[in-house]
Structure 1
Amino acid sequence: MPSESGSFLKGVILGGVFCLILALLGTFSPEIQFRSDDHHHLHHHLKPLSREELQKLTVAQMSKVTQQVRVYCLIMVTPKILVHWATANETWSKHCDRSAFYSSESAKALEAIDLQEKNEWTRLRKAITHAYDSAGGIRWFFVARPTTFAIIENLKYLVLVKDSSQPFYIGHVQKSGDLEYVEYESGIVLSYEAVRRLVEVFKDESKCPERGHAIWTLSEEKQLATCLRYAGVFAENGEDEKGKELFNKKSVNTLISDSMSQNPSDVVEACCSDMAITFTGMSQSQMQVMMYGVYRLRPYGHNFHDSLTFLPPKDSDND
């Protein structure tokens, strides 16, 4: 009898502990908690040079910086979105100094780097590592999905005088708990130093696990932000000099429709920045129209008074 009562008591205790663990997990929020002394690193609002600041640069300085700012575009694709993949390949990606499509599997129709990986976070890690190893002299990286339309020249203008040897992580910043992250859908900009640190922290499974955590899974944009934060890199929101977003999480159509209903007396001014870098959720036809409007349509005889010229990549066939 004593042994039976002892076994019963052990069972009660173990059962109670198990229930307590389940209760704790039920109220657990899967956000990474950081030390309070990290808060002085919270993102700030990153803006391009103003017209006045740009005019202070000499001709030699402007020529030098425009030649130095080169962008490697990482476009994450799957065969399921072949139409968007093909459209991105035919349109805005041609304006990248180098572009690579990273796929979950091989596709006969279009050229891509087959990472043979279904897990989106693991595939993103592999793509970033590959781009870092293949970058050569390119010092800026742009990560996007093929449903995003990007104006690469405006991206270059944003980072024109930014030092790529400093850790930059730029885009449309969102907040979840105490974690600030750049939204994946509207594109992510990383400097060479940010990627270098990221690739290093990839090697530390305790801080940046390849397969996520055992109990919960964060979205890849939050996992990226978490790993970057461990590397001392923090999200920065891209804005123009008026505070308008440069990385848009909506399509142009949606932004204009919203502005028409909310600001009918000043639709254009209330809609979008003149220096917008990305628009998101674009259909194939919308991306083709954007290409026409951004790069092909020009009022004859009008001078835009641009002080800088970003030359296309050598031997490219972009617009």
Structure 2
Amino acid sequence: MLSEGSSFMKGVFLGGLFCLVLSLLSSFSPSTESGPEDLHHHHHVMAPSKDELTRFSDSRMQELINQVRVSCIIMVQPKLIVYWATAVDTWSKHCDKAVFYTSEPSKALEAVDLNEKDDWARLRKALRHAYETAGDLRWFFIAKATTFAIIENLKYLVLAKDPSQPFYLGSAMKSGELEYVTYDSGIVLSYEALKRLVNVFQDEDKCPERGRALWKLSEDKQLAVCLKYTGVFAENGEDAHGKGLFNSNSVETLIKDSMKDNPNNVVEGCCSDMAVTFNGMSPSQMQVMMFGVYRLRPYGHDHLDSLVFLPPEGSDND
């Protein structure tokens, strides 16, 4: 009799707990307050084709080239100092502004010390700092030190896009009802998207600094939740043929996968010619990648691209 009563009370307790969890989960999905300014809501951002570029006059093309400047927000930690040093020595030189944000002081390399151990709180601080010090920069690229980026291809992707519109793009994924851009493959924000994000940081109900009590979302998902409250949605960056430009895997992994899935056309099945990012490479592989992207050229082949994105003045770049 006693055991039956005990089982009954245990069932009541577990049932109540289950209802509480369901209630909390149902209240988690943010509803967006949309208005006329939030009509920018699609899920594929494509780079212009060569035919589209021919429609621009030379003066308009030069104007666009001068306007597309990228601020790189690179999140680092002293325990990954080899990756950090590699990012300093390779692709970050091609950013118009590159700022490294660290979790704790480091005497070896220069960075903004945010003095914050929590990943999401640290990213928030970095984004606020980047916004407050943006100057005339209107595109923002968020990356980990383990990511390799080709900034010129990013500029090509957003060339004709208006940064006063709320763009949030990269490799878009879905988790339940939440669409988000994966952190490993890099995240791009326009000035308008970053402005809305910084504003919603002030609302702890919509965008809590320390996350939720019952579970902890990754930084990229938490970022998507906060942006969604402002009417900004994740969009997939693609080339003119619909191929994704932001890769969470290395070139080696992508080629191996293509050899297995597309043995008759490995190159075409691998990745876009205009890829913006790769991830999962060792520091030495990043150095090799830098050589392949910026130095290796077949003699006798002219590069007749209609765009020329010059590296930042005074930059010690490849």
Q: What's the TM-score once normalised by structure 1's chain length?
A: 0.91
Asked if 1:92 is matched to 2:63, the reply is no
Q: Output the amino acid matched with 1:49.
A: P
The one-character-per-residue Cα deviations of 1:188-241 (angstroms, maximum 9, x if unpaired) are 000000000000000000000000112221111110000000011001001112
Q: CA separation in 1, counterparts of 2:42 and 2:12?
A: 41
Q: Which has the larger radius of gyration?
A: 1
Q: CA separation in 1, counterparts of 2:184 and 2:136?
A: 27
Candidates 5, 17, 21, aligned match of 1:22: 17
Deviation for aligned residue 1:17: 6.9
Q: CA separation in 2, counterparts of 1:251 and 1:141?
A: 23
Q: CA separation in 1, counterparts of 2:88 and 2:305?
A: 27
Listed as ranges, the matches of 1:215-294 within 5 Å are 215-294=214-293
Asked if 1:45 is matched to 2:48, the reply is no
Q: CA separation in 1, counterparts of 2:86 and 2:154?
A: 20
* Alignment length (residue pairs): 309
Which residue matches 1:208? 207
Structure 2 SS opposite 1:314 = coil
* Bigger mean CA deviation after superposition, 88-97 or 234-243: 234-243
RMSD (CA atoms) = 2.4
Q: CA separation in 1, counterparts of 2:204 and 2:30?
A: 17
Structure 2 SS opposite 1:162 = coil
* Bigger mean CA deviation after superposition, 29-38 or 98-107: 29-38
Could you tell me whether the CA contact under 8 Å between 1:30 and 1:216 is conserved in 2? no
Deviation for aligned residue 1:20: 3.5
The one-character-per-residue Cα deviations of 1:17-74 (angstroms, maximum 9, x if unpaired) are 7543422356678584244998x97642110111111011111011100010000000
Q: Output the amino acid matched with 1:134.
A: T
Which residue matches 1:188? 187
Listed as ranges, the matches of 1:116-131 within 5 Å are 116-131=115-130
Asked if 1:65 is matched to 2:64, the reply is yes
Q: CA separation in 2, counterparts of 1:275 and 1:252?
A: 13
Q: Output the amino acid matched with 1:23.
A: F
Structure 1 SS opposite 2:253 = helix
Q: CA separation in 1, counterparts of 2:69 and 2:162?
A: 12
Give structure 2 stretches of 5+ with no counterpart: 1-7
Structure 2 SS opposite 1:73 = strand
Could you tell me whether the CA contact under 8 Å between 1:30 and 1:218 is conserved in 2? no
**Runs of 4+ deviating beyond 6 Å:** 13-17
Q: CA separation in 1, counterparts of 2:278 and 2:240?
A: 19
Q: CA separation in 2, counterparts of 1:240 and 1:108?
A: 41
The one-character-per-residue Cα deviations of 1:262-314 (angstroms, maximum 9, x if unpaired) are 21211111101000000011111110010000000011231121001011111
